[in-house]
């Protein structure tokens, strides 16, 4: 301390340090449910080389000339159906998750959240955490199943931001948790609670994961395997519960985009096929999503219902993601405390 006092310049600014931070990261959302906001969001999202694995010289003319002039209008309509007074459900829920975890972890840990695409950005929140004195930060991508197009993009962006920092914090990353007992037990408890509250007994439960192009599997991405392992371990936890007695489980993939071949079976095709072959009561869970978003609230809950009912189905429900449920928050807290071991 004496050496520091003797050698600090007279105009040296005070610097905060010594705190631990946690940054929850989810995929992202447009600023509003209008075509202009959606266009800005899609431009950033679909320009990521991890998301679209095509040479920029081939992809960018398609993106700028066709997709950004047609898709924003359709996507804005989907977002407008689920937008609330608090804005984007995904951003709102992720913010609430951060607040709940901060309350549980106590004042010694600074908890914040960011979106990989859109606002608040990873750069903005990392800078804010360091300004609050966090020189040790746990980055927690909220993707249970690893995929280069999701988890790896968080690593990429954090590395880019740190490249411009003179004083870099020490970093840790929450690993994928597709087979973590905390995650699987939380899902099992929450899905059981929701199914018990339904006014019908389902015949079929779909575990619908976000789709990826087939080439991600062929290039060695573990996402497909992670999804199937999560689904299998979750089925094992649900199979012996009275609420799921006689229920048939299926694993599907949703949100296809573009002409390329995607992981199958597709959720929309499966909903239609189930209705056509006589299934009358069906529920959908989305265990790969940590928070409800346009893919669950609009694609599954609204479009999916129409597809199933028009094909002959009757009772249909999409179960909520873990969101800020008691089991969901407890799961995140347990995993975060484990990864902060030695720092707290």
Tell me, yes or no, whether 284 lies in a domain: yes
Contacts (Cβ under 8 Å, ≥6 apart) of 56: 49
Tell me, yes or no, whether 166 lies in a domain: no
How many domains does the chain fold into? Answer: 1
Lay out the sheet containing 315-318: strands in order across: 248-254, 204-210, 281-285, 315-318
What residues pair up with 25 in beta bridges, in sequence order? 114, 141
Tell me, yes or no, whether 139 lies in a domain: no
Mean pLDDT of the chain: 95
pLDDT digit string (tens) for 108-123?
899 999 999 999 999 9
Contact indicator for 76, 35 with CB cutoff of 8 Å: yes
Tell me, yes or no, whether 293 lies in a domain: yes
Structural domain range at position 242: 181-318
Which residues of the chain have a pLDDT value below 70?
1-14
Tell me, yes or no, whether 328 lies in a domain: no
Distance CA 221, CA 141 (A): 17
Tell me, yes or no, whether 295 lies in a domain: yes
Tell me, yes or no, whether 5 lies in a domain: no
b/e map 90-118, b = 16+ CB within 10 Å: bbbbbbbbbebbbebbeeebbbbbbbbbb
Name the strand (E) or helix (H) holding 94: helix 89-105
Give the model's pLDDT for residue 10: 63
Is the pTM value of this prediction over 0.85? yes
| Preceding peptide of 21 cis, ω within 30° | no
The Cα-based distances of 275 to 109, 125, 202, 270 in angstroms read: 49, 46, 13, 9
Distance CA 43, CA 168 (A): 29
Distance CA 76, CA 79 (A): 5
Tell me, yes or no, whether 255 lies in a domain: yes
Distance CA 245, CA 233 (A): 17
Give the model's pLDDT for residue 127: 97
Contacts (Cβ under 8 Å, ≥6 apart) of 194: 319, 320
pLDDT digit string (tens) for 145-170?
999 999 999 999 999 999 999 999 99
Query: The domain that contains 195 carries what CATH number?
Result: 3.40.50.1400
Give the model's pLDDT for residue 108: 87
């Amino acid at each position: 301390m004496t050496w520091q006092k003797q050698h600090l310049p007279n105009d040296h600014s005070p610097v905060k340090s010594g705190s631990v931070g946690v940054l929850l990261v989810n995929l992202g959302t447009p600023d509003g449910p209008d075509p202009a906001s959606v266009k800005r969001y899609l431009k950033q999202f679909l320009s990521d080389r991890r998301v679209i694995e095509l040479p920029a010289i081939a992809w960018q003319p398609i993106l700028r000339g066709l997709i950004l002039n047609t898709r924003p209008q359709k996507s804005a309509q989907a977002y407008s159906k689920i937008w609330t007074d608090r804005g984007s459900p995904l951003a709102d829920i992720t913010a609430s998750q951060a607040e709940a975890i901060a309350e549980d972890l106590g004042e010694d840990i600074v908890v914040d959240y960011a979106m990989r695409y859109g606002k608040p950005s990873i750069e903005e929140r990392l800078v804010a955490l360091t300004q609050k004195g966090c020189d040790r930060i746990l980055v927690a991508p909220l993707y249970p199943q690893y995929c280069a197009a999701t988890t790896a993009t968080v690593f990429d962006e954090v590395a880019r931001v740190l490249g411009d920092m003179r004083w870099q914090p020490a970093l840790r990353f929450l690993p994928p948790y597709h087979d973590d007992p905390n995650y699987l037990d939380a899902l099992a408890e929450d899905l059981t609670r929701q199914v018990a509250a339904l006014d019908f007994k389902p015949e079929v439960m779909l575990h619908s994961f976000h789709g990826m192009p087939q080439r991600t599997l062929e290039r060695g991405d573990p996402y497909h395997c992670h999804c199937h392992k999560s689904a299998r371990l979750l089925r094992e936890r649900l199979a012996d519960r009275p609420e799921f007695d006689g229920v048939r489980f299926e694993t599907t993939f949703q949100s296809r985009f573009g002409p390329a071949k995607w992981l199958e079976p597709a959720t929309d095709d499966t909903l239609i096929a189930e209705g056509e072959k006589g299934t009358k009561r069906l529920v959908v869970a989305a265990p790969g999503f940590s928070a409800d978003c346009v893919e669950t609230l609009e694609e599954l809950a609204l479009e999916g219902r129409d597809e199933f009912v028009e094909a002959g189905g009757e009772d249909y429900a999409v179960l909520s993601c873990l969101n800020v449920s008691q089991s969901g928050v407890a799961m995140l807290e347990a995993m975060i405390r484990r990864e902060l071991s030695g720092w707290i």
